[in-house]
Chains A and B, each alone.
Chain A
Amino acid sequence: MKLSRKSFYPLTILLMLSACDSFLSENPDNRVDLDTAEKAAQLLTSAYPSAAYTFTEWMADEVSYTQGTTKRPEHVQAYNWEESTSSNNQDTPSFIWAGSYEAIAPANEVLAIIDEMEGDADLKSAIRGEALLARAYGHFMLVNLFAKHYNRQTATTDAGVPYVEEPETVFIKQYARNTVAEVYDKVERDLREGMRLVDGRFYKNSGKYHFTSTAALALASRFYLFKGDFENCINYSTEMLGSNPDIFIKDLPTILADYTNTEEFLRLMTSPSDNSNLLLARQVTNYPINVGFWPSIDQVNSLYDNNPWNAEDLRRSNRYPLFIRGTDGYALAKYQFLFERTSITSNVGYNYTIMPLFRGEEVLLNRAEAYASTGQNSAALADLQIYVDKRYTEKPRVTLPFLQNYYRTNNAQAALMAFIVDERDKEFIHEGLRWFDIKRFNLPVTHITQTGASITLGETDLRKVLQIPQNAIDVGGLEPNPR
C-alpha cells in the first residue's frame, strides 16, 4: 500500500500526538498504581477508621467533672452536650466523621475495580468481601452516631448519613443524607455479601487487623441487635460463638493472676492472640492520656460493687490496674499509651492506641439480650453464666430469682435485660459502647458541671444525635440534625 502525500501529513500529526500523549503519561512521582489484587488487598489496610468514638464516654453517664486533667474546649463541649466547634481535633464528632469516610474511600476504590483486576479468583472475592465489610462497618457506626437509633416505625423518614458507594472523582461533591432505613438496608446488603466472600486465609500475621468471617459475624450480631432483628442476631452470634463460647471471653482470672506489670497487662488486653479480640484497629486519640472526664471513685465503686450476689468483681479487684486521671478521676487499665513522633529528634507527634472494635463478650451479651428479648430466658441465663464465670471471683450462679430479687421486679425479662445492660456498662467502660445503649434504651444522663450545677440529657433528647459537622453542612450540602 502506498501512502499518498496528502494522507501522510495527517497521519504524521496523529502519530506525533499519540506519541506525545504517551510521553505525558509518565507518573509524576513514586505513587503506586492500583493494578494488582495484592495491592488492592494492601489498600484495604487503610479501610479501618483511625478515629475513635471513645469521646462519647464523656457524654455518657460513667463520668464526672474531673479536676486536673487537660480539657480542650471540645472535651467540655462533649461533657455539656454542646455542639462541637472543633473542626479537626482528635476525639470529636468531626474527627470520627472524617475518619470513617476516609476509611470507606479505599473500600470503594477497591470495589470499583477489583473485578477487572488480574489475579486469583478466590483472592479477589475475599478482597471484595473485606471491602464490603469495611464499607458496611464504617457507615453503620456513622449512622448510629449521627442519626437517631433505628426505629422500625420512623426509620424510613429519619435522616441517616450519606451511604457512599463509589469513589469521589470531582473536587467538591454534593451529597445527600440517606434515611436511616436506607443506610441499614445497604449495610445489610454489604454485610451479607461480605460475610459470604471474606476469607481470613489470605491475611498475613494474625489477621486481627482485618475483617475475618468471625469479625464479620460479630458485626452482624451488633447490626441485627441494633435493628431489633433478634432472630438473625441469635443466628449470627451462634455461628460466631460456636459450641465453646467461653473461649471468646477474656480470661480475666488468669490474666490477673499472671501479668507482671501494668504495661504487660495493657498489651495482653489488646493482644491479637486473645480470642476475645475479634477486630483490632490503630486509633489516633488522646483518650488514653490525661485528658477529659472520668468516673469518680464513687462512680467506680458503685458500678462494680453492686451486683446481685455482692460478689467481688474482678474488674475492681486489687489486681486490676486502675489509673488516676487528674486528681480525682479513675480509669480501668485498657489501652496502651503509644506515641508517633514526626522525627527522631522531635517531640511533636500523635498519641495513638490499639482499640478492639469487636470483642467476643459483646457477641455473647448480644445473644443473651436477643434471647431475653424473645422470651428464651434459659438460653439467656446460660450465656450470662458463661460470662459471669470469668468476671466474678466466686463464679456466682446466674438465676432468675437472684436477678428479680436484685432488680426488685417480678418480670423475668425485665430483670434479665437490666442485668445485661448493667454488665455491658461494666464490661465496655471506656470503650464508647455505653453511648449506643443510652440511645437504644432511652436512658437519661445527668452531669455535674465545674460550678456544681446539674445538667441533664433527657430520655429522647435531640442532642443524643451528634450534629453533622459544620463543614459537611456548609460544603457538602447536608441537612443538619434538628436541635
Chain B
Amino acid sequence: MRKFLSAFLLFSTFIYASAQELSISGRVTAVKDGIELPGVNVRVARTNRGTVSDAAGRYTLLVNSGDTILFSFIGYRSQTQVVGQRTVMDIQMESETTELDEVVITGFQEVERKLFTGAAATVKMSDVRISGQTNASQMLEGQVAGVTVDNVSGTFGTAPKVRIRGNSSINGDTQPLWVVDGVILEDLNQLTADDIITGNANTLTASSVAGLNPDDMESVQVLKDASATALYGTRAKNGVIVITTKRGKSGATRISYSGNLSFNLRPSYKQFDILNSADEMSVYREMYEKGLIDITTSVKAQNYGVLGKMFSLISQHDLNWGPNGSLNESFLNQYENANTDWFDVLFKDQSLQQQHSLSLTSGGEKYNSYYSLSYMNDNGQTIADNVTRYAVTAKNSFFFTDKLSLDVKLSANFRQQLAPGTQNRDFDPISGRFRRDFDINPLNYALNTSRSIRPYDENGNLEYFRRNYTDFNILRELALNSIEISVADISTQADLQYKFTDNLVFRSAIQGRYAATKREHIIHEWSNQAEAYRADDTQYIQDANQLLFVDPNDPTSQPKVVLPEGGFNNLNNDELKYFYTRNSLDWSHSFNSIHNINILTGMEIKSTDRQSKRIDGIGIVYENGGIARLDPNMIAFLNQQGIETYALSEDHERFAGAFLNGGYSYKGKYIFNGTVRYDGSNRLGKSRAARYLPTWNVSGAWNIDQEKWFNADWIDFLKLRATYGLSANLGPNTSALLNIRSGVTLRPTDVETYLYIQDLENSELTWEKLNEFNVGFDYGIFENRVTGTIDAYARNSYDLIGVIQTSGVGGNEYKTGNYANMESKGAEFTINTRNIQRKNFSWLTSFNIAYSRDQITKLEFDPRLADAIVQGGAAILGGPRRGLFSVKFAGLDTRGIPTFYDGSGEVVYNMDLQDRENIRDILKFEGPAEPRGAGGFTNIFNYKSFSLSVFLSYKFDYKIRLNDAFSPQYTDFSSLSKSFVNRWMVPGDENITDIPVILDQRILQSGNPDYQSAYDLYNKSTVRVANGDYIRLKSVRLSYALPNNWIRKVGMSTAKLSVEAMNLFLLYSDSRLNGQDPEFFSSGGVALPQPRLITTSISIGF
C-alpha cells in the first residue's frame, strides 16, 4: 500500500510538473540558531502534493501561484505561506517547545508563566554554568533570590548547605527536594544540615546530585512558595529544585562536544596569619625556659616536633647537648630556617581538572534521541585526593501516533574517588571541642603544623617526627592512610503520554533506580595510625598510650599491644533501591477563550530501601595480600569497651499520595489556583493516626497589564501574585510506634543479646508543618529592558520536632516530638536589566538579594553551654534557628590568664559547659550562625563575538566562630598564630593585649586546674568571633564565539572558546577572619576549601 502511495505521489508530481511552470525552492532553518532543518514536510495545502527538505534543509516544489504551502515538522510550529509571485521562499521554523522563561516546569506539569500563581525562578544551565565546577548543586550560589548555598566544603561529592527561604525546621532536614525530569532524586545517604559540616567521610557519598553531569541539564527551576510546591505536599516544606535534562531534537543528527581544562591554584601562607619557623623557634625557646618542653616531657610526649626530636636523640645518645648542657644550637639551626611551606608540600599547584562531554541528538518524525557521555577527572587540590566520574544518558522519545508517545531514559554514573583517611569526629562536652583522632586532613595539617618541621631531611629522605607516640611523616601517612570511594548509580525511567482528546491527557512516569556506594578506609600496617597501636617503646609510653591493652585477668602485667601486625580495613557499604511511579490525568477546557479551566489529578507511589553496612577489618596485612591477623587480646580490648566492629542499619521508606489541582483563569487576567494533596508515609511508624496528612494551598494572580484601564506604556507587564497554604515535611528521628532496638550486653560475664526501648510510642506524633503567605510582583518595563520580581513572605512553621526533657516517669527522659514553633519573614528582589543594547555591543546586568529572619517562638529545652558555643551554633527560644553564643571575656588576669564573667557577673576561669540552665545570662548572643541575607550580582558585556561576564556572590548578617587557636599547652608540633607576637609577656600587658600567656609548667602542674579550662573557654569567647559578611568574586569569564563562516568550512555549526576564573578572592570579608574562609567549615577529615580554578573551555557542535 505504501509503495503504491509513493508511486502515486511521484506520478502526480510529474503530472503537475508538466502542467505548471512555477517552481519554488528555498531553505528551511530554525529560528533559534539558524540551523538547517532536514526532513521538514513541505506540502501544498489541501492536496497530496509535497516533498521533504534535504540534508541541507533545501526543498524544491512545483506549485501554482495561488497555492498555500504548509511546512510542518515535529517539535516545530507549523507554518503556512501563500506562494504569490515568489520563486524562492526561505522559511524559518519556530520551535514548538516554548522558551524556558515562558513556562514553569513544576515536575508535575508545565504552566505558562503568565498563568502561574506561585513564586518560582528559572535558571538556564547555560547561564549559570561555571566551567570547572563539577557539582550542579554548587552552581546555584547567588543565582536565585532566596536560595542560599553555603559551599561548606570544596571536596567533590560534598553537598552544599542549600536553604530556600531560610529555614523551616529546627532539628530536621532543611535541604530542598531535588527533582529530575519529574522524579524525586533521593539522596544516597540521608544527612541533616548539621551533618554536612562534620568533615566525616560520609559527607562525600550522601548527595545524589554529584553524580549528574551538568552538561546534561537544560534548566533548573526553583519552586519557592507554597503554591509553587503545592503538588509536592508533605515533602515541600523546604522548597523544590526541579532539574530538566536535555532531550533529543528531530532533524539532522547533531553532535556537540564541550571540554574544559582547569588548573587549581594552591593556597599560600600569605592568606593566613601563621608564624614563620624562626619566630616559632623563639616561642619554643620560651616554652623551654618555662619548663614546658624538656628532655623528660619530650620522651614521653604524644606528639613532638623539633625540640622534642632533639631531646629524644640526646636521650638515646645519638646527639650531644650544647655547651654546658644548653640546647644543641647547631641541630636546631637547620630547622630554624626551614620555613616549610606545607601548602607547597601537600597541595598541588596547577593540578589539572578536566571535563569532557559528548552528546548526540538525532531524530525524525516518529522519534528522537539524546545520548550523552561525560568524563570528569580531577587530580585533586592536594596530594591526597582525586576523583573520576563517568556519566552516561540515553533518552529516546517515540511518537507512535498523535495521541501516544513514550519517553525512555537510561542514565548511569560511576565515580571513583580518593580522600585522606579519617575517623568520624567526636564532641567532647567537657572542653567544648570537637576531636578527631589521627586527622591527616591536608589543609588542617598545613595550618596547624609547625613550619620548623620538615618533610624531608637534608639528604632528601623522609624525615620523621612524633605523633601518637610513634614516628610520623605526613607524606608517608597520606600515602598509607586513605579512603577509596566508589559510587555506581543506575536509573531507568519511562514516561508515557496518551491524549484521549486534545484537552484530556493521561501521563504516567515510572522510575527504578539502584545505587551502591562503597567507602573503604585503608589503614596500612606501616601507617602511623596502625603503628600507634604498637607504640610501647618506653615505660612512659606504655603507661600513657591508651591504645594498649591492660589485661583485666593480669592487671600487674605491662600494657599489651593488641595489634602486633597489620593495619585496618574499615569498609562501609551503602545501597539504595528506589522505585517511583506517578499517574496523572490532565483536563483543560476553554469557553469562548474567556474562561480557561485546568484540572490535574493523580497519584504517586514511592518506595526507598536503604541498607548501610560497616565492617571493620582488623590486623590486615596489606603487604601479604591482605590476610587478617586478629589478636585475641584485640577482641578482649574491643569487648571490654563495648566497641562494635560490625554494624548494619536499614531504612525503608514507603510513600503514597493523591493530588487534585484546579486552575481557572478569566481572560488571562484573573487566575485562581487551588491544590489539595493527601499523603501517607510509613516514616512515623505503623500508627495509622500519624500516617496520613492532607495539605492544601490556594493562590491567585492578577495580570494588571491586561486591564483596559491600564495605559502606562512604559510598563510591559505587571503581575500581582498571592499565595496561602500548608506544606509539610517529615521531621527527624520520628517514630510514632514503640521503637525497640537490640544490642549485646556490656558486662565482664553473662554476655547476652538483649532488647531495649529506643523510643516509646508517641501516638500524637505528626509531620512538621508550615503555613506560608506569599505576595509578589513580576514586572517588565521599558520594552522589557528591565524585568524582575519582588516577593515578600511570612512563614509559620509549627509542630516542629525537637528534643524535650520529660518527667522521665514514662521511661524516656528525653523524647522527640512536635512541640517547637518557628516564624520567619523575608523578602526577595530580583532585577535584570539590559543597560546597553547596540548592534555590536550589549551590557546586561542581573542582581538579586534576599533577606530572611527566623525566630524560634516555642522551644522548651535549652542546649548545653557546650553546644551553644561551637561554630554551628544552637537553637534557643527567641533566637534564630542556629544562634552563635560566646563566653563573656573579662580580660586577662595579672598573670596573663584569660578570665570570664559567669552568669552572676563574677570573674571566673571555668564554668560547667554541661549546664543547661541560665544560658542567656552566662553567654552572649552574637547573632545568627547562618546568613540571613544573600544574593548575587552579574554583569555581562557582549562585544561582537566576545562576551565577558563577572559574577559576584555575597552573604551578610551572620557571625562566625574563629578556629580554635589557643591552648593551655602548645607543643613544638603545632603551628602558632601571628597574634602570638602580641601575647602577654610581662605584668601590665593585660592592659594592652587580649592574647593570653603561654602557661608555664609550674602553673600547669600546681596551679588551679581551672586555668587550663580558661584556654578552652577563650577560644569560645567574645574575642573569638567575626562577622561572616562577605563578597566573593565567584567567577570571571571571557568567551569568544568563532565566526560562522570560519567554522562552517571545517563542518562545524558552532564553536566557542572561553577562559574562566572561579573563586578568585573575597572582595570583602571581616579582617578578623585572618584568611579563614567564612563559607568553609574547617572541620578536618575530608573537608577542603573550594578550589580556586582557572579554566579554559571549548564547546563545538557539528
Which chain A residue has the least Cβ–Cβ distance from B916? A87
A344 to B691, CA, bound (A): 40
Interface string of A297-310 (1 = CB under 8 A from B): 00000000000000
A282–B914 CB distance below 8 A: no
A309 to B912, CA, bound (A): 50
B811 in the interface (beta carbon within 8 A): yes
A263 in the interface (beta carbon within 8 A): yes
Chain A, range 262-300, C-beta contacts under 8 Å to B: 262-264, 267, 271-272, 280, 282
B423 in the interface (beta carbon within 8 A): yes
* B377-385, B635-643, B1061-1069, B1094-1102 - the one binding chain A: B635-643
B423–A29 CB distance below 8 A: no
Chain A, range 78-116, C-beta contacts under 8 Å to B: 85, 87-89, 94, 97-98, 101-106, 108-109
A26 to B440, CA, bound (A): 42
B810 in the interface (beta carbon within 8 A): yes
**Of A43, A272, A343, the contact of B749 (CB 8 Å cutoff):** A272
Known contacts: A102-B813, A472-B807. The answer to whether A169 contacts B761 by CB under 8 A is yes
A21 to chain B minimum Cβ distance, whole angstroms, is 7
Chain B, range 176-223, C-beta contacts under 8 Å to A: none
> Which of A167, A168, A263, A271 lies at the interface centre, i.e. has the most chain B CB atoms within 10 A of its CB?
A168
A453 in the interface (beta carbon within 8 A): no
B735 in the interface (beta carbon within 8 A): yes
B811–A104 CB distance below 8 A: yes
Q: Which residues of B contact A340 (CB under 8 A)?
A: 641-642, 746
A342 to B638, CA, bound (A): 11
**Of A26, A31, A102, A346, the contact of B435 (CB 8 Å cutoff):** A346
B641–A349 CB distance below 8 A: yes
> Which of B648, B745, B750, B756 lies at the interface centre, i.e. has the most chain A CB atoms within 10 A of its CB?
B750
A338 in the interface (beta carbon within 8 A): yes
Known contacts: A106-B756, A345-B438, A475-B807. The answer to whether A282 contacts B747 by CB under 8 A is yes
Known contacts: A24-B680, A29-B650, A42-B755. The answer to whether A102 contacts B642 by CB under 8 A is no
B818–A32 CB distance below 8 A: no
A345 to B555, CA, bound (A): 22
* B331-339, B350-358, B410-418, B736-744 - the one binding chain A: B736-744
* B284-292, B448-456, B762-770 - the one binding chain A: B762-770
B691–A24 CB distance below 8 A: yes
A24 to chain B minimum Cβ distance, whole angstroms, is 5
Q: Which residues of A contact B792 (CB under 8 A)?
A: none
* B242-250, B651-659, B822-830 - the one binding chain A: B651-659
A185 to B375, CA, bound (A): 76
B808 in the interface (beta carbon within 8 A): yes
Chain B, range 767-826, C-beta contacts under 8 Å to A: 804-813, 815, 817-819
A22 to B556, CA, bound (A): 60
B764–A205 CB distance below 8 A: no
A346 to B439, CA, bound (A): 12
B651–A89 CB distance below 8 A: no
A23 in the interface (beta carbon within 8 A): yes
A42–B555 CB distance below 8 A: no
**Of B438, B654, B763, the contact of A23 (CB 8 Å cutoff):** B654
A89–B757 CB distance below 8 A: no
B756–A46 CB distance below 8 A: yes
**Of B547, B654, B810, the contact of A173 (CB 8 Å cutoff):** B810
Q: Which residues of A contact B65 (CB under 8 A)?
A: none
A13 to chain B minimum Cβ distance, whole angstroms, is 11
B643–A31 CB distance below 8 A: no
B426 in the interface (beta carbon within 8 A): yes
A392 in the interface (beta carbon within 8 A): no
B555–A478 CB distance below 8 A: no
B752 in the interface (beta carbon within 8 A): yes
B748–A102 CB distance below 8 A: no
Known contacts: A23-B654, A89-B914, A339-B641. The answer to whether A102 contacts B812 by CB under 8 A is yes
A348 in the interface (beta carbon within 8 A): yes
Q: Which residues of B contact A336 (CB under 8 A)?
A: 552, 748
Interface string of A192-213 (1 = CB under 8 A from B): 0000000000001110110000
B459 in the interface (beta carbon within 8 A): no
B649–A171 CB distance below 8 A: no
Q: Which residues of B contact A167 (CB under 8 A)?
A: 738, 760-761, 810-811
A476 in the interface (beta carbon within 8 A): yes
- Give the interface residue-count category, chain A: 35 or more
A454 in the interface (beta carbon within 8 A): no
A164 to B764, CA, bound (A): 20
Known contacts: A28-B651, A262-B555, A341-B642. The answer to whether A173 contacts B809 by CB under 8 A is yes
B840 in the interface (beta carbon within 8 A): no
A261–B555 CB distance below 8 A: yes
A39 in the interface (beta carbon within 8 A): yes
> Which of A20, A104, A204 lies at the interface centre, i.e. has the most chain B CB atoms within 10 A of its CB?
A20
A167 to B810, CA, bound (A): 7
A211 to chain B minimum Cβ distance, whole angstroms, is 14
A338–B437 CB distance below 8 A: no
Chain A, range 227-257, C-beta contacts under 8 Å to B: none
B965 in the interface (beta carbon within 8 A): no
B682–A28 CB distance below 8 A: yes
A277 to chain B minimum Cβ distance, whole angstroms, is 11
A46 to B745, CA, bound (A): 9
Chain A, range 18-52, C-beta contacts under 8 Å to B: 20-21, 23-34, 39, 42-43, 45-46
Which B residues fall within an 8 A CB radius of A?
A: 423-424, 426-428, 435, 437-438, 546-547, 552-553, 555-556, 605, 607, 616, 638, 640-643, 648-656, 680-683, 685-686, 688, 691, 735, 738-742, 745-758, 760-765, 804-813, 815, 817-819, 860, 912, 914, 916-917
The 8 A-B residue pairs with the shortest CB-CB distance in the complex, in nearest-first order: A476-B807, A105-B811, A168-B810, A45-B754, A263-B555, A98-B808, A98-B813, A171-B817
Which A residues fall within an 8 A CB radius of B?
A: 20-21, 23-34, 39, 42-43, 45-46, 72-73, 85, 87-89, 94, 97-98, 101-106, 108-109, 162, 164, 167-173, 175, 204-206, 208-209, 261-264, 267, 271-272, 280, 282, 336, 338-349, 352, 354, 469, 471-472, 475-478
26 pairs from A and B in contact (CB 8 Å cutoff): A24-B655, A28-B653, A30-B650, A32-B741, A34-B738, A34-B740, A43-B755, A43-B756, A101-B811, A102-B812, A103-B811, A172-B819, A173-B809, A204-B752, A206-B749, A280-B750, A336-B748, A341-B641, A341-B643, A344-B643, A346-B437, A347-B435, A347-B546, A471-B808, A476-B808, A478-B807
A-B contact sample (7 more), CB < 8 A, given A46-B756, A173-B810, A472-B808: A20-B656, A25-B654, A25-B682, A102-B813, A172-B819, A264-B553, A472-B809
